[in-house]
Structure 1
C-alpha cells in the first residue's frame, strides 16, 4: 500500500467525510463572488469572450473540487489538486485578458481572492507544504501578470505596489490554509499516538481475562466429555475395546476443536462474534474464503476499517446475513480482497449510511472499488502484507 500523505482526509477519513459541505459552500461562494464582481464592474470589460470563459473555467474547477471531495473518490490526489489549480490560474489569465485595455483598479479583480478561497477549501485534502508551495508559485505568476498590466491601471503607483495589492490577500488565505492543515495533522497524529498507548495498556489488562476465558472453555470441554468418560471407567474398573474407540474419538474431537480455534483468523472470529452467520460456530468458514491466510497480513488500521464496515453492514435492517461472502487471496507480495453482500436498501440510503466507512477503506487500502447492483454490493480492494 502507498504511504499515506499528511492530510486530514487520509489520517482521519471518517472525520473528513463531513467537510464536503463546507468545501461546496466555499466553492459556490468563490463562483458567486466572481459573478457579482464581473457584473458590478462590467464597464471595465473590453473583451467579453475571455471574461465569460474565465467564469466558465472557474465554475468547472470548483465543480471538479466538489466532486473530488466526495468520500467515494477519496483520497484527494496531488494530480487533482494541480488540475484544479491550473484551471484557477487559467481563469485569472482569462479575466485579465477580458480587461486588457480597460482595467481601472487591481482591487476589482476577483481571480486572486477566489484562488485563496479555493486553497482554503483544499486544506483538509492536501498537505500543508503543497498548499504553501502552490500559493507561492501562483503569487509569482499573478505578480508577473500584474506587472504587465501596471501601465494601464487608472491610478499611478510603483508597479510593485500593484503586485503587493494583487497577491497579498491570496497569500494570506494560502498560508492560513497551510497553517490550518498543519495544525489539524499535528492534532490528529498526537491523538493517534495517545490512542495507541491507551490501546496497548488496555490489551495488557485484557490478556489475563482472555486467558481465563480460554481456560474456562477448555474446562467446559473436559467437564462435558472427558470427565464422564473417566468416571465411568473408574466405576467399572474395566477397559474394553469400545472404551478405546470412544477415547480415541474424544481425543480426535478435542484435537479438531483446538486446531480449528488455532487456525481461525481474526476475521472469522469477527463474523461469529458479530452474529453474522447464525448460531453455528463453524459457519464462519462458509462466509470467509481465505485459503492463503491473507487476513492476518492486514495491518491494524486495515483490520479496524474492515471490522467497522462489516459491523455496520450487519446492523443494517433486512440484511441477509447468509449471503455475506468475503474472499481474500495472496498475489506475490500483495493481497486482494472482495466483500459481497446482499443489502435490501435503496442505493442512495446505503451510500449515505456507509459513506464514512467507505472513506476509511479508501484511505487504508489501495485500489478500493465499489460496485453496486441492487441488491448486491461488491467491494474490491488490495493491500500489501504487513
Structure 2
C-alpha cells in the first residue's frame, strides 16, 4: 500500500519537485513584482491625462498590490506549497486589475496597445511559474486573454487608430497572451526536466538501497554471532569440560535459549523506522544515542522511497550536525490521509544554533509538505509535518 501517491501531473510545480530551486528563484519573483508595481506609476507620469477616473485607478492599483503581496507571501520558502484556492484568489485579483484599469481610462484611452494592465498581468504570470502548474497557467492565460480582448472592444470607440475592432481586441490582449503562454511552456519544460532528473536519481537510490540492504542483514547477523561468541560458546565449552550437568547448567541453558529467542523475535518485529534508526546509530559507535521509533502500524515500510529517504536524511543530519543524544520518530496516519510525522531531537547545542544547522532541511520539509511546524522545548527540537499529497 502506498501512503504517499505521486503528485498528479495537473498539480506538478517546481516548488513541489525541487523546493530549494523554487526558493532560489524568489529574487526573480521579487524583481518581477516590483516591475509590475512600477509600470502603473510610470503610466501616471507619462499619460496621466488618460486617467479619467482616479478612483478606479486607485482600486486597480490596490488590487495589484494585493496580488503581488499574495505572490510574494506564498513564494516564501518558509511557507507550505501554494494550494489552488489561494492561487485562484491571485487570478481573481488580476482580473480585477484588468477591469478597473480599463474603467479608469474609459473614453480617453486612445492607444489600447499601450495599456499597462495586460503587460503587468503577463509579468505576474511569468513570476508565478515556479509555484503554479503549467496547465493552470494556460487556463488562466486564456481567461485573461479573452477578458483583455473584450475590454479592447469596449474601449474601441475612444481609439484614434482607424482599424477594425477585431484588431483592437488582438492588440489589447497580445501581451498577456504571449507572456502567459510562454510562462506555461517554460513551467512545463522545467517541470518535465526536473521530473526526469528525479526518476533517474531515485532509480539510482533504489539500486543503492538494494546494495545497502545486504549490509543491514550482515549487521543483524553479526549481532547474533556476537551473542553466540560471548555467551553460548563459553557455556558449551564449560559443559564439555565438566563431568556432568547440574541444575545451574540447565538454568543457564534456559536463560540463553530465552535470550536467543528474544533476539530473533525482536529482529522480526522491528518496524522499518526502528531498523533505520538502529542502522544509523550503529554508524556512530562513539556516541551514546537513544533512538526510538513509535510506528505501531509500520507505516514507514509502506511509504514511498522519497519519504523514507527524507526521514533517513533527517536522522543522519541530526546525528552528524546536532550531536543528538536522543531521537524520537513517531509515525501515524494523517486525518485526511497520508502520513503524519513527529520528529524530536535532543541536542546539547543551543536551539537557535540547531535550527540554523537544519535550516536547509527545514525549508525542504516545508516545501514538500502541506502542513509543517517547528517547536522548541528545553534541550529539544520538535518537527511535525504531514504528507498530504
Structure 1 and Structure 2 fold alike (TM over 0.5): yes
Offset from partner CA, 1:83-104 (integer Å, 9 cap, x none): 1111112112111111112222
Cα distance change, pair 334–124 in 1 and its aligned pair in 2 (3 A): closer
- Hey, what's the Cα distance between the residues in 1 that align with 2:172 and 2:214? 66
Cα distance change, pair 356–171 in 1 and its aligned pair in 2 (3 A): farther
CA contact (8 A) 1:302 1:361 kept: no
1:63 Cα offset (Å): 0.6
1:362 Cα offset (Å): 4.5
- Hey, what's the Cα distance between the residues in 2 that align with 1:218 and 1:264? 15
Residue 57 of structure 2 is aligned to residue 54 of structure 1: no
Give runs of aligned pairs for residues 1-386 of structure 1, distance below 5 A: 4=7, 5-275=11-281, 279=287, 283-285=290-292, 288-317=293-322, 321-322=325-326, 324-330=327-333, 335-341=339-345, 344-346=350-352, 350=355, 354=358, 356-362=360-366, 365-366=369-370, 368-373=371-376, 377-383=381-387
Offset from partner CA, 1:43-90 (integer Å, 9 cap, x none): 211111211221121011001001011233221112222111111121
1:179 Cα offset (Å): 0.9
CA contact (8 A) 1:57 1:91 kept: yes
- Hey, what's the Cα distance between the residues in 2 that align with 1:86 and 1:6? 21
Cα distance change, pair 50–314 in 1 and its aligned pair in 2 (3 A): farther
- Hey, what's the Cα distance between the residues in 2 that align with 1:232 and 1:191? 61
Offset from partner CA, 1:320-353 (integer Å, 9 cap, x none): 634x543333578765332344673339x93x65
Cα distance change, pair 187–54 in 1 and its aligned pair in 2 (3 A): same
Offset from partner CA, 1:229-262 (integer Å, 9 cap, x none): 1111112242211111111112222222232233
Bigger drift between 51-60 and 129-138 goes to: 51-60
Cα distance change, pair 120–356 in 1 and its aligned pair in 2 (3 A): farther
Unaligned runs of 5+ in 1: none
Unaligned runs of 5+ in 2: none
1:313 Cα offset (Å): 4.1
- Hey, what's the Cα distance between the residues in 2 that align with 1:21 and 1:272? 42
CA contact (8 A) 1:334 1:383 kept: yes
- Hey, what's the Cα distance between the residues in 2 that align with 1:224 and 1:277? 19
State the secondary structure of the residue aligned to 2:106.
Answer: coil
Q: TM-score, normalised by structure 2?
A: 0.85
- Hey, what's the Cα distance between the residues in 2 that align with 1:314 and 1:208? 23
